[in-house]
Amino acid sequence: MEKTNNYFMYVLLCGDNSLYGGFTTDLKHRLKQHQTGKGAKYTKSHLPVKMIFSKQFDTKHDALSAEYHFKHQSRKKKIEYLIEQGINVKQYGLKV
């Protein structure tokens, strides 16, 4: 059985209005990495980034599964997911 811990799936809004989904165990540290160009290759070329959503999971598997699912959705489905999670996407200029 996997050890219970703090695992997160998060969503960044990038400078070009694209959405990036990621996984981490430390939200503050990971966001800082992305903002300074030391995160993912994708976000490095789409600065600035802003974290607009995060969800905590008990297992690494569940968080990685959520990240994988998010990344493989269309933009429309990603925005619909954020709305389902209670995010006011209009405040970020996102449209369904």
Q: What is the pLDDT of residue 39?
A: 86
If DSSP states are collapsed to H, E and C, what string results for 72-94?
Answer: CCCHHHHHHHHHHCCCCHHHHCC
Q: What is the pLDDT of residue 96?
A: 78
Q: What is the pLDDT of residue 84?
A: 97
On the question of pLDDT at 3 being above 90, the answer is no
pLDDT tens, 42-55? 999 999 999 999 99
Q: What phi, psi does 85 have (nearest 5°)?
A: -85, 5
Domains of the chain in sequence order: 7-92 (3.40.1440.10)
Q: What is the pLDDT of residue 58?
A: 94
| Chain position carrying tokens 């994988």 | 68
The pTM is what? 0.92
Q: What is the pLDDT of residue 4?
A: 54
Instruction: Give CA–CA dist 92/6, Å, rounded.
Output: 27
Helix residue ranges, H only, 1-96: 27-35, 41-44, 60-71, 75-84
Q: What is the mean pLDDT of residues 58-77?
A: 97
Per-chain mean pLDDT for the chain = 93
